[in-house]
Amino acid sequence: MRKPIIAANWKLNKGPSDTEDFIKSFESRMSDLPKGVDIVIAPPFVSLPKATELLAQSKVRVSAQNMSEQDHGAYTGEVSAFMLKEIFVNYVILGHSERRSIYGETDAIINAKILKAHDVELKPIFCIGETLQEREDGKLEEVLRTQITEGLKNVSEKQMLDTVIAYEPVWAIGTGVTASPQQAQDAHEFCRSVITDLYGVSVSEKVRIQYGGSVKPDNASELLGQKDIDGALVGGASLEAASFAELIRNGVVD
């Protein structure tokens, strides 16, 4: 049985003071939440120290939204895996479609970042997903297989067990359009079959695959109820503590 993992991807929202407000409000709701779920919040870089400090005694874990594949040197504007470790970050979102489409991150760059994260025992939340055009052209499986295979090159079996996959159809991100539970389940089942091809069934049965793309409190139960959907990566609906807590309550049954 895979433990669900629900992560809040705040994107370019919430500096340290808004982060503090959110955490205080969210923590006051924690006693009402299901226990059998891993909860992660991913604030922007500048808010990470505040988040890890406030959540040091909490079961809520902290994730970065990106990091460099380099350790140090002349890379203006970048943040390394070691720096994230130093401030007690646990996870890092890598390969988000906004990183791919706006900042030109390729499968090879994402692969280098995933390997670097594992080097310092940061757990990657590895995002994949097709555009609407790719889906309409019948390329869904080809795109997902390539993203998974290239992104996970040289990732060991043990590291794979510490990798979370987030399937996020690009057309569902921030659009209010969600994949139907069946569309999402079919894509997740396919992703798991690719992990089986690469690592065998005993690993693929343990790997958690989140769904992302307009997950809200009122669709979380149906989506997370699907056999191969092990949680959610949530943008818009994670910005308010009340809505994120409600989404977790609706999506997870203890």
Binding track over 173-192 against ligand PGA, x by CB under 6 A = xx------------------
What's the Cα-to-Cα distance from 204 to each of 82, 111, 154, 161, 169, rounded to whole Å? 28, 19, 16, 8, 21
Instruction: Determine phi and psi for 152, rounding to 5 degrees.
Output: -105, 10
Closest CA to 203 of 152, 254, 169: 152
> Is 96 among the residues known to form the active site?
yes
Q: Of residues 90, 214, 219, 250, which one binds ligand PGA by CB under 6 A?
A: 214
# chain residues binding ligand PGA, by CB under 6 A: 13
Q: Which stretch binds ligand PGA (CB under 6 A): 14-22, 81-89, 147-155, 233-241?
A: 233-241
CA-CA-CA-CA torsion sign (78, 214, 19, 91): negative
The reply on whether position 212 binds ligand PGA by CB under 6 A is yes
CA–CA separation, 43 and 65 (whole Å): 7
Q: Which stretch binds ligand PGA (CB under 6 A): 74-82, 128-136, 206-214, 240-248?
A: 206-214
The reply on whether position 43 binds ligand PGA by CB under 6 A is no
Beta strands in 123-191 (DSSP E): 123-128, 164-167
Binding track over 1-40 against ligand PGA, x by CB under 6 A = --------x-------------------------------
Q: Give catalytic residue positions.
A: 96, 168
